[in-house]
Amino acid sequence: MKVHLTQYLCENRHCIIAVAWEDSDQRERIESMMKAAVKWMGINPWCGLCGSTKLHFEDAVTPFATLAEANESLKVCEAAQAVTREVFSQLPKTN
């Protein structure tokens, strides 16, 4: 088994939301849950960086076999994204 990372990206590859998961047979269910999460969390259905409304899913297999194995790397990435989100939240909005 491999850990997948599914991202919801704009056409310029800016990530709106991402989910790591283990079971490769559940991609459609994961994408459906991500769309529901975007609505539930009140996330705008466009890119906050470039304003694009052309969003799509992209899935990739990570080098990790389990979420436990991937956890440290995911936490480092999550922390970096939180810093980026905070920096951009301080800038004037173009859209």
Binding site for Zn ion (CB under 5 A): 10, 12, 14, 47, 49-50, 52
Q: Give whichever of 25 and 89 is closer to Zn ion, judged by the CB atom.
A: 89
Nearest approach, Cβ of residue 13 and Zn ion (Å): 7
By C-beta, is 33 or 49 nearer to Zn ion?
Answer: 49
Task: Give dist(CA 40, CA 87) in Å, integer.
Answer: 24
Q: Minimum distance from CB of 41 to Zn ion (Å)?
A: 18
Instruction: State in Å, rounded, how far the first CA of the chain is from the last one.
Output: 41
Q: Which residues lie across from 91 on neighbouring strands?
A: none
- Contact indicator for 38, 25 with CB cutoff of 8 Å: no
